[in-house]
Every structure is written in C-alpha cells, then in structure tokens.
C-alpha cells in the first residue's frame, strides 16, 4: 500500500490513460486496496459513491473531495471524475437515471452526510444477491433519505488562476511549515492583496480557511493509511495533538481517533 509523504495532498497525479467513452453508472459493490486507482471517466447517469470502509479521494473538474464511511459523494451525469483508494476499502456505487426526478443538485458534485440508516441502505442496495423487487423498494427509501440528507461542504475547489494554483501547490507540498500569505505572494510573483482576492473569489474562503481544509483532507488520508493521531497532527502542521483533535472534530463532527477507528 502506497503511503503519503508528510504534507502530501490526498489527491493523485493526472493519469496518462483516460476512459473516453460514456456509460451507464453501475449499481454495485466491490473491494479495493490502498493505492488502487480508477481512471478518469464519466457516466450517462447520476452516481452516488460511497465507501463503507477505507477512504476514497475523488477528483472532478470542480474540485477534490474525500469520502469515508460517514460521507458519500453525488456525481452528476456527464461529470468527469477519478478516484484513489487509501486503506482497504469497500466501494459502493449507485446509478440514478439522469432524466428522473433530481435527488441532489445536477450542476456539480456534492458531499452528503451518511447516517446509520442510509449506510445500511446503501450497502443493501449494492448487494449482488438482492432481488429486483427488493432493490426497487430499497432504492425508493434511499431516494427519500437523499432528499433529507444534509450536505457536507468538505471540498477543495480546483484553482483556475495559475498564481493561485502555484500557491496551493507550495502549501500542499509541505504542510508541516506554515506559510504566510505575504511569503506565498512573493513566491508566485503576485501581491499579497491579489492573492488574498484570488482565494476569496475562486474558493469563497480566506487563505487560512483553505489551508485548514487542506490539512484536514490530508489528515483523513494519513489516518486511513494507518498513521497515529500524533503523527498525523505533526505531519499536517499542528503544533500539538490537542490542537489537531479540536480542529478536526470541529470540521468533521468526530475526533481523529474515532474517525480512524471507523475506517479500520
């Protein structure tokens, strides 16, 4: 299983080969090992992606997401996406006709919260042993739950401006050391005011807010790869483990230890 270096963003390098054809989104379940990659592809249908164990990093044209046992990703029909798995993962996908009643936003991917009931429904619906009549009934309940599931805005948007992209790459390459906005601006040949404006206009957040989100993303992957809470805290730039636990719990609604235990 390939591990991440300290401070590495939980997203993978662009893949050389791409799946160029479009296809129906399958409803299925299968296992993946850490390091497995599903190359860039898209479907004619909407798709709900869920891992009941492990962690899945998902990249789309809109940004990057991390899905785990308490979060699922809605991918609209026609949206390009690619995946990388961290830790042994049970991977569930459910296809929904693009022409049907929209369950979630059709314009861009969305992360939704998965409670205990929705989790069991998703696992049951993707079972190969399920009979068609049972599948129809469970799918109807899943649709009802998706209408009520709260959105989880945990994502890293894709930068468009090259100066912003360069700044993000510098920070992501070494999360152990905090970089001031002024220091970054000088490195990418921009003024501090310009770079601050780019973070707000393209990401809808300040530079400190974006950096915290990037650190949380990386922490989720390190924990899935088996890193301890203490190691993850230092690798992602927190001065103390307690500070990491507080920030992670505030952002994710659970402690890093509980998150790690749930994955493994």
The Cα 184–Cα 257 span in angstroms is 33
Residue 238 pLDDT? 95
Report which DSSP code applies to 250: H
Residue 95: half-sphere exposure toward Cβ, Cα within 13 Å:
15
Residues of the chain with pLDDT under 50: 1-22
In this prediction the pTM is 0.70
Residue 61 pLDDT? 78
The Cα 61–Cα 110 span in angstroms is 13
Domain boundaries, the chain: 22-155, 159-263
The Cα 165–Cα 124 span in angstroms is 41
The Cα 125–Cα 114 span in angstroms is 14
The architecture (CATH level 2) of 159-263 comes to: Orthogonal Bundle (1.10)
Report which DSSP code applies to 203: I
Residue 264 pLDDT? 58
Residue 15 pLDDT? 36
Residue 54 pLDDT? 82
The architecture (CATH level 2) of 22-155 comes to: Sandwich (2.60)
Residue 12 pLDDT? 42
Residue 23 pLDDT? 65
Q: In sequence order, what are the residues at sequence separation of 6 or more whose Cβ sits closer than 8 angstroms to the Cβ of residue 239?
A: none
């Amino acid at each position: 299983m390939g591990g991440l270096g300290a401070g590495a963003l939980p997203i993978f390098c662009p893949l050389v080969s791409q799946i160029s054809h479009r296809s129906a989104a399958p409803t299925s379940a299968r296992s993946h090992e850490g390091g497995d990659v599903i190359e860039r592809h898209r479907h004619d249908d909407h798709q709900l992606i869920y891992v009941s164990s492990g962690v899945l990093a998902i990249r789309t044209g809109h940004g990057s997401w991390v899905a785990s046992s308490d979060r699922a990703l809605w991918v609209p029909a026609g949206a390009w996406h690619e995946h990388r798995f961290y830790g042994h993962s049970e991977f569930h996908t459910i296809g929904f006709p693009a022409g049907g009643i929209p369950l979630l936003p059709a314009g861009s991917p969305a992360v939704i919260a998965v409670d205990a009931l929705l989790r069991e429904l998703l696992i049951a619906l993707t079972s190969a042993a399920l009979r068609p009549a049972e599948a129809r009934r469970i799918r109807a309940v899943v649709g009802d739950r998706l209408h009520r599931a709260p959105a989880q805005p945990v994502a890293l948007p894709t930068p468009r401006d090259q100066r912003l992209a360069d700044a993000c790459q510098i920070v992501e390459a070494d999360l152990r050391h905090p970089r001031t906005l002024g220091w970054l601006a000088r490195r990418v040949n921009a003024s501090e005011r310009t770079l601050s404006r780019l973070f707000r206009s393209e990401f809808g957040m300040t530079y400190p807010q974006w950096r915290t989100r990037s650190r949380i993303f990386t922490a989720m992957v390190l924990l899935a790869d088996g890193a301890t809470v203490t190691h993850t805290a230092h690798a992602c730039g927190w001065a103390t483990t307690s500070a990491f636990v507080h920030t992670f719990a505030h952002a994710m609604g659970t402690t890093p230890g509980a998150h790690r235990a749930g994955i493994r």
